[in-house]
Amino acid sequence: MGCICNDLAGKGTPHAATCIGHLWMFEHLRPPELEALVAAARRRQFKRGQAIFMQGAPGIEMFLIKAGRVKLSKLNEKGNELTLDIRKAGDFLGEQVLNEEFDYPLTATCIEDSLACGFTRQGFEELILGYPNIGLQVIKNLSRRIEWLTSRAETMTTSNLEERLYRVLITVAREHGVKSLKETSIQFPLTHEELSFLVGAHRVSITRAMKNLKESGRIIQQGRKLILVN
């Protein structure tokens, strides 16, 4: 089954090899169901800095990021933007659309030119009417997402700030980094302010913890690149 997103992304553009028809949420579908799923998907291209959806807007669409990176952020009651996560090609956004009506709790902003492939709620419901087994398999596969979220939450349980920061950097590196036998590197800049929101600590404390991690040799800063020694 070919993926037309590969052509839309353009030659030389890094993109996820995973087609929406092969996403974990749609595992164990039969070939005719996969073909119908891919044919019904909606493709959209976004520029760097463009929002895919905004906090508080009605949640009506879900997306597979095919190319680019997306920052998930939230405005607190004081109007300050909190960076909560960074998603890469191959990640899925807005899966709540499948089982409930809701407003987007976050804003998704492209930090690179991006390509997304997905469904509106209405479009997906129409697809399920024709292929009921798609809906059944989605229900079974959603439990895997809950397990993944639980493991991410465990990262925040340690009280040692340096260890908590290092675990967050490891998680970001595993999901977004470049790996080799001896090291994993994060190729794009992460500000101490963004790290403070991801870790749940004050920016000054993050600066101090980063300094200690560098002095201990656990991480190495090379320009905009951050290297985590395996």
Determine the topology of domain 161-229 in CATH.
Arc Repressor Mutant, subunit A (1.10.10)
Q: What would the pLDDT profile of 178-226 be if each residue is shown by its tens digit?
A: 777 777 888 777 777 778 777 777 888 888 998 999 999 988 888 878 8
- According to CATH, where is 2.60.120.10 located in the chain? 5-152
- According to CATH, where is 1.10.10.10 located in the chain? 161-229
Homologous superfamily, domain 5-152 = Jelly Rolls (2.60.120.10)
Q: What is the pTM of this model?
A: 0.57
Pair of tokens at residue 183 = 């090291």
Residue 62 has pLDDT above 70, yes or no: yes
How far is residue 156's CA from residue 40's CA, in Å, rounded to a whole number? Answer: 39
Q: Specify the residue for token string 């996560």.
A: 85
Q: What would the pLDDT profile of 1-22 be if each residue is shown by its tens digit?
A: 456 666 665 555 556 666 787 7
Min mean pLDDT across 141-155, 166-180, 207-221 is at: 141-155
Q: Specify the residue for token string 């997906």.
A: 124
Nearest to 195 by CA among 173, 220, 222, 223: 173
Compute φ and ψ for 144, nearest 5 degrees.
Answer: -65, -35
How far is residue 133's CA from residue 68's CA, in Å, rounded to a whole number? Answer: 31
